[in-house]
Structure 1
């Protein structure tokens, strides 16, 4: 596989993890761009990156870039993705990839038109443990899927100036943490849910602080999700089948799962991958996709999850400024 030039659009936590993942591979980012130039300079110095752009838009004009990793706030994704794809760059974008299904359809159409890879940086789709679990499920030893239970609660300071509570930055539980739970569900479900019920508690800013979601698909597989950005919960997923259930803790970057078999109570521990290498797996799969293995990035699952999130917010009547 050839070596690709990666550029980071953003200098936050995920961008740092991207640079560190590159370093583990004895590689480095080709360039970095950020809305604040001084932060880009500091980031480049920290990771020995040779190229920094004085204007954030220069990243789209650089003909040497193959792949742009976008890790800016949710509401900025659509414009940056559009510019990147129109400039011939492949794009790996942080979750949630766009604000809604309409935006994502526009971007997937543009990527297809330009013969480019567009993907969401969803760790669940790339951690080895999930690929191994799919093999076990496909063998039939667990029987058919029945139920999935998900929880994800983080405790963010109750500061309405924080990005997690900001409407202007597309804050709220759904796009920030709900996307993980729903991506987990879609990974295991046989088909996309077509029945959706939900409840929401709003923060004072009008974003979703807390939510409960029930899902059912045409195969009668069901799922329940509880989310909060101001009440700590374990990041736990339980996937129940005819003949046993799988339990996964810290599921966004899991490397271990426990299978309990119904008839005997026997527990089997399955391990694969390394939590610390989560971004490395995304890099490897993205480069494989650019080489021709397009389905490896699971864009169809990303579309299904975005449809679910869009429908839930439609039920709530909750919009971000860009959608009004």
Structure 2
């Protein structure tokens, strides 16, 4: 599938590089680059043979040749760029977490609807072939009703309070950084959004959530547990338990392998699909399909996940500087 639209990136970090490589894999290239530091934007453009670099970020919003903007800047900057991009009639694929809270997300969704453009969170697992295949298996009913989901996501970050992961000023903390993946996984497989939520939290010295746990239940009485940590490594494994078997997913969110174990006799089925290295390729393809055909980018799931994260932080009385104004 060849690239059909002119893509611009705001941000030249790891994701910016992966986006450029994904577009090149499809025989295209980034159309333009916007970055807070112009010199870094120039260096990035030179590396990938991109012709256009904006001296000011706001120039990307007024460029009539830009169709889609990918935002990969820190969480707390997203809403200011979303407002400008959506008002300018640009389609937007935004890194997770897409906003700081539900109010910001509701505002962005309304702007997208008013300006008839596609807005989506770049949630990898919504687009990886493995998860699409698993969703089909679950929907077939052969595993029976869903009972329980268990999610672990623990990373080991240097315990440096100046690190962005622990910074209030950069919207750090486990929930927005890694919790969004775990909760998106849960929501992707649950029949409906959780309506009962219990949480626990351990704060870092900076006041952001260093560790957190959530217990979730929806109206179908499906349950999920989520354990997060920024300073205790855990395997990235998700378990989805049904009446007739359970699914284990390895190395999510960019998974390419899962194992189904059937309850009645213990036999296993290995499911493999996609390539971890092509994660951004799948996102780009789905985004362009969404623009063409109104393809579902699971914005409803994004909204549900954001509500859970917002609720949890409200329970913890944890606010970022932007939310205290």
Question: If the length of structure 1 is used for normalisation, what is the TM-score?
Answer: 0.99
| Offset at residue 131 of structure 1 (A) | 0.9
2:299 is matched with which residue?
A: 299
**2:72–2:95: 8 Å Cα contact kept in structure 1?**
yes
Which of structure 1's runs of 4+ aligned residues deviate more than 4 A? none
Structure 1 residues 157-306: aligned runs within 5 Å: 157-295=158-296, 297-306=297-306
**1:259–1:270: 8 Å Cα contact kept in structure 2?**
yes
| Offset at residue 249 of structure 1 (A) | 1.0
**1:4–1:67: 8 Å Cα contact kept in structure 2?**
yes
| Offset at residue 292 of structure 1 (A) | 2.3
Q: Distance in 2 between matches of 1:104 and 1:281?
A: 23
1:316 is matched with which residue?
A: 316
Q: Distance in 1 between matches of 2:191 and 2:148?
A: 12
**2:194–2:217: 8 Å Cα contact kept in structure 1?**
yes
Residue 155 of structure 2 aligns to a residue whose secondary structure is strand
Q: Distance in 1 between matches of 2:38 and 2:3?
A: 31
Structure 1 portions without partners, runs of 5+: none
**2:91–2:117: 8 Å Cα contact kept in structure 1?**
yes
1:18 is matched with which residue?
A: 19
Q: Distance in 1 between matches of 2:90 and 2:135?
A: 31
Q: Distance in 2 between matches of 1:53 and 1:140?
A: 51
Q: Distance in 2 between matches of 1:97 and 1:179?
A: 9
**2:3–2:27: 8 Å Cα contact kept in structure 1?**
no
| Offset at residue 139 of structure 1 (A) | 1.2
| Offset at residue 133 of structure 1 (A) | 0.8
Q: Distance in 1 between matches of 2:191 and 2:98?
A: 23
2:76 is matched with which residue?
A: 75
**1:81–1:107: 8 Å Cα contact kept in structure 2?**
yes
| Offset at residue 44 of structure 1 (A) | 0.3
**1:142–1:244: 8 Å Cα contact kept in structure 2?**
yes
2:155 is matched with which residue?
A: 154
Structure 2 portions without partners, runs of 5+: none
Structure 1 residues 82-161: aligned runs within 5 Å: 82-161=83-162
**1:117–1:294: 8 Å Cα contact kept in structure 2?**
no
Question: If the length of structure 2 is used for normalisation, what is the TM-score?
Answer: 0.98
Once the two structures are superposed, what CA deviation does each residue of 1:295-324 show, in whole Å capped at 9, x if it has no partner?
2x1100000000000001011110000001
| Offset at residue 2 of structure 1 (A) | 7.3
| Offset at residue 3 of structure 1 (A) | 1.2
Residue 151 of structure 1 aligns to a residue whose secondary structure is strand
Once the two structures are superposed, what CA deviation does each residue of 1:135-157 show, in whole Å capped at 9, x if it has no partner?
11111110000000000000111
State the number of aligned residues.
Answer: 323
Once the two structures are superposed, what CA deviation does each residue of 1:14-47 show, in whole Å capped at 9, x if it has no partner?
0011011111112110000000011100100011
Q: Distance in 2 between matches of 1:37 and 1:320?
A: 28
